[in-house]
Amino acid sequence: MDAQDFETWSQRAASWGVTYRETLEARPVRARTKPGEIYRAIPPNPPETGCEMAQIFDEFEALIEPGMTHWQHPRFFAYFPSNAAPVSVVAEYLVTAMAAQCMLWQTSPAATELETRMMEWLRDALGLPETFSGVIQDSASSATLAAVLMMRERALNWQGNRAGLSHAPRLRIYCSDQVHSSIDRAIWIAGIGQENLVKLAADPKSGALPPEALEAAIRADLAAGYQPAGVIGCVGATSTGACDDIGSLVAVAHAHDLLVHVDAAWAGSAMICPEFRALWDGVEGADSVVFNPHKWLGASFDCSAHFIRDPEMLVRTLAIQPEYLKTHGQDGIVNYSEWSIPLGRRFRALKLWFLLRFHGLEGLRAMIRDHVRWAGVLHDRLAATPGVEIVTAPVLSLFSFRRAGASEEDTIAHLSAINEDGRIYLTQTRVGSGLAIRFQAGSFAMSASDIDIAYSAILDGLGLGQEGAS
């Protein structure tokens, strides 16, 4: 591809992106292709000779795009958002064009120094103290794994990486039963083992891990000869938005000299609004905190902000410095590959810089406040509708519901009807012993009118359309 073709097709791709965003509202949110349909349409063997870009682009539009679920759709109410604000997309064009590998300061000084400043901006925006330093990870899963590895190494006096775990004491990590599955996976990969992730029952009303239960579990494990290593707190759990009392967990953990990691992957973005910070009171005492700007703040995936009280512990856990990765003749530099599990690093800080400068904190706060308010409006309308049962009350912009008296099979059928309609996209969750339908507002493109559409689609899917309209 020569320079002229590169320009032509870059412009074509950008133009396609604009049209795509402008027409999203008219499309069904979820892909309607059948399993295997796209796979069978792709030739089984790779091409021996190349073809023209026009043909490739035509096939992309005809084959690939119809099979995509539209995460930037204004009525994507499933999972958590994975927003990509337009200004973030523009920044990613530039990152992709430069294609830098930003593993060390010397491999792109601007990437390292911008990342340092962006993490300071985010730290201050969340109201975290200056005692935290930050690094951009690819996902909260990686940040949690890094934190668990740090817990493991500290508990083993930094001998786990060197000697392995075969003769190590049995380590224990504590959390509530509301945590994300990424915590389980981190325990697996760290070699600690699922049986040593002590999941304690959350309070059925508050959703928080009771501190007295944590204290009792730690004491019981000490008496049994196990070695407690850390506690993982949750702010804005995926299922219902449950939040631990972080201050209480920190007090218990630190009394036993354990590290505390806080997973606020979704809800952390809302902490740019001071009125929501009560959800993580005490977070300033944590040792590690993660949230995902690629969820609610609008930074395109992937971009996870990981804050650490003592980065030397993280570096001691993860850093390997062969001669070819050393930077000679420079003092006081940071090589963020030593703070991360992968060696390779994308230039993720640029989209944060674009995003924060373009929207400003007030613009982002206004968006989050709108989402919380609009979710509350929908919750109140459903709560007032005969035949609808609210299962969990709103936490920020997340709540759950179902048709009153519905069995699990009925609830799945209702959810399928809602999603097959195409106007909105929701998912299910388990609350206690039953299933519920989960709603969360978080799309960058959402407006107040989307709540009216959601209400109508939900009632139709629950088989209450006429009752709700009456």
Strands (E), 244-355: 259-263, 288-291, 304-308
Domains 1-30+69-84+360-470 and 101-346 share a fold: no
What pLDDT is recorded for position 324? Answer: 46
Q: What φ, ψ does residue 259 adopt, rounded to 5°?
A: -80, 150
Q: What φ, ψ does residue 393 adopt, rounded to 5°?
A: -70, 160
Q: State what percent of residues in the chain have pLDDT above 90.
A: 77
Q: What is the CATH number of domain 1-30+69-84+360-470?
A: 3.90.1150.10
Please state, in angstroms and rounded to a whole number, the distance separating the CA atoms of residues 466 and 373.
Answer: 26
Share in percent of the chain as helix, strand, coil (round to 5): 50, 15, 35
Going by C-alpha positions, the residue among 278, 320, 347 that lies closest to residue 102 is 347
Spell out the per-residue pLDDT of the chain, length 470, in tens.
899 999 999 999 999 999 999 999 999 998 888 999 998 999 999 998 999 999 999 999 999 999 999 998 999 999 888 889 999 999 999 998 888 888 888 888 888 999 999 999 999 999 999 999 999 999 989 999 999 999 999 999 999 989 988 888 999 999 999 888 889 999 999 899 999 999 999 998 888 999 999 999 999 999 999 999 999 999 999 889 999 999 999 999 999 999 999 999 999 999 999 999 999 999 999 999 999 999 999 999 999 999 999 999 999 898 876 544 555 445 568 888 889 988 889 889 999 999 999 999 999 999 999 999 999 999 999 999 999 999 999 999 999 999 999 999 999 999 999 999 999 999 999 998 899 999 999 999 999 999 999 999 999 999 997 555 44
Please state, in angstroms and rounded to a whole number, the distance separating the CA atoms of residues 94 and 103.
Answer: 18
DSSP 130-192: TT-EEEEES-HHHHHHHHHHHHHHHHTTT-HHHH-STTS--EEEEEETTS-HHHHHHHHHTTS
Residue 61 DSSP label:
I
How many CB atoms sit inside 10 A of residue 24's CB? 18
101-346: CATH class: alpha beta
* First-last CA distance in the chain: 62
Contacts by 456-459, CB closer than 8 A, 24 or more apart = 456/423, 457/418, 457/421, 457/423, 457/424, 458/382, 458/401, 458/418, 458/424, 458/426, 459/385
What pLDDT is recorded for position 332? Answer: 67
Domain-by-domain residue ranges, the chain?
A: 1-30+69-84+360-470, 101-346
Q: What φ, ψ does residue 90 adopt, rounded to 5°?
A: -60, -45
Chain centre distance of CA 297:
11
**Bond into 410 cis (ω within 30):** no
What tens digit of pLDDT does each residue of 225-245 get?
A: 999 999 999 999 988 999 999
Please state, in angstroms and rounded to a whole number, the distance separating the CA atoms of residues 451 and 305.
Answer: 30
Type of residue numbered 21: R
What pLDDT is recorded for position 334? Answer: 87
